[in-house]
């Protein structure tokens, strides 16, 4: 007698990089998966929570190198759910923070397939926190912006210019290729001395952090070879981090360090 397939898709946020920052609920969902489709920013160590016999499919995207288009990913999720039943779609960070998670859910549900969402710890908050950077702090920052550096048409988000006019902390994801433009927008608002931290491979053993100001950060990046994936944090809260105090004392010297 053939087993009845009951399709279901669970969208799971993998967290910022460190596999220990996966949620317990996310680990439980993986344990029940027949198929896992995972992204480039989802740590592969997390796949150990899935059954050994489960099918693992890499559908990651990196700049200039896409394993699958988004449309192909959407169809893969549906096809695997209809064929194998329980699918986990594993996405880095939180799937609803620039992760196109809502698009995938809408497509899956158009086929009548039940879905569930398990939030992940967003890199936009966790990566700065790991460096002692509190995005809000009484008397320093009352709010924060989280902005994509690169929009769907490959341009810098217009919101960066608006954020530069505010006193809020600004966190920019996927913005390294637009760093010169970002710097220019803040300089236009006379914020050249505003502290900046760039955190590459946040929460991972090969994490690197560059610290400077709007006026010096491009040199920090060039001198130390910082690149994507990285998060840009702009605001006075960077100066408030106890973990980065030694860098603040010599801000103009373009400091960087790597975790060993």
Q: Is the four-CA dihedral 49, 99, 17, 145 of positive or negative sign?
A: negative
Q: Is the four-CA dihedral 170, 160, 39, 221 of positive or negative sign?
A: negative
Locus of tokens 């460096």: 131
Q: Is 61 a catalytic residue?
A: yes
- Choose, from 56, 61, 137, 223, the residue flagged as catalytic: 61
- Closest Cα to residue 122, out of 164, 155, 94, 89? 94
Q: Is the four-CA dihedral 140, 145, 147, 149 of positive or negative sign?
A: negative
- Choose, from 39, 191, 208, 255, the residue flagged as catalytic: 39
- Choose, from 18, 91, 174, 208, the residue flagged as catalytic: 174
H/E element, 234: strand 230-234
For residue 81, what are its two tokens? 């759910």
H/E element, 29: helix 24-31
For residue 25, what are its two tokens? 């609920």
List beta partners, residue 55.
35
Q: Is 153 a catalytic residue?
A: no
- Which positions are catalytic? 39, 61, 174
């Amino acid at each position: 007698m053939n087993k009845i397939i009951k399709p279901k898709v669970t969208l799971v946020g993998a967290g910022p990089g460190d596999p220990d920052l996966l949620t317990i609920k996310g680990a439980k969902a993986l344990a029940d998966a027949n198929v896992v489709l995972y992204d480039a920013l989802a740590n592969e160590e997390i796949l150990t929570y899935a059954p050994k016999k489960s099918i693992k499919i890499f559908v990651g995207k990196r700049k200039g190198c896409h394993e699958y288009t988004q449309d192909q990913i959407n169809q893969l999720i549906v096809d695997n759910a209809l064929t194998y039943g329980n699918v986990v779609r594993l996405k880095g960070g939180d799937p609803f923070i620039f992760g196109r998670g809502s698009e995938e859910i809408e497509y899956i549900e158009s086929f009548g397939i039940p879905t569930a969402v398990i939030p992940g710890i967003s890199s936009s908050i966790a990566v700065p926190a790991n460096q002692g950077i509190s995005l809000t702090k009484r008397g320093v920052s009352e709010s924060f912006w989280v902005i994509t550096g690169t929009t769907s048409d490959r341009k810098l988000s217009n919101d960066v210019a608006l954020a530069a006019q505010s006193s809020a902390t600004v966190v920019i994801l996927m913005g390294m290729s637009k760093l010169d433009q970002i710097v220019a927008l803040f300089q236009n608002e006379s914020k050249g001395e505003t502290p900046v931290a760039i955190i590459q491979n946040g929460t991972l053993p090969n994490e690197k952090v560059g610290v400077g100001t709007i006026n010096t950060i491009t040199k920090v990046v060039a001198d130390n070879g910082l690149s994507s994936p990285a998060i840009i944090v702009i605001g006075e809260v960077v100066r408030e981090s106890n973990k980065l105090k030694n860098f603040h004392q010599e801000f103009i010297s373009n400091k960087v360090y790597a975790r060993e």
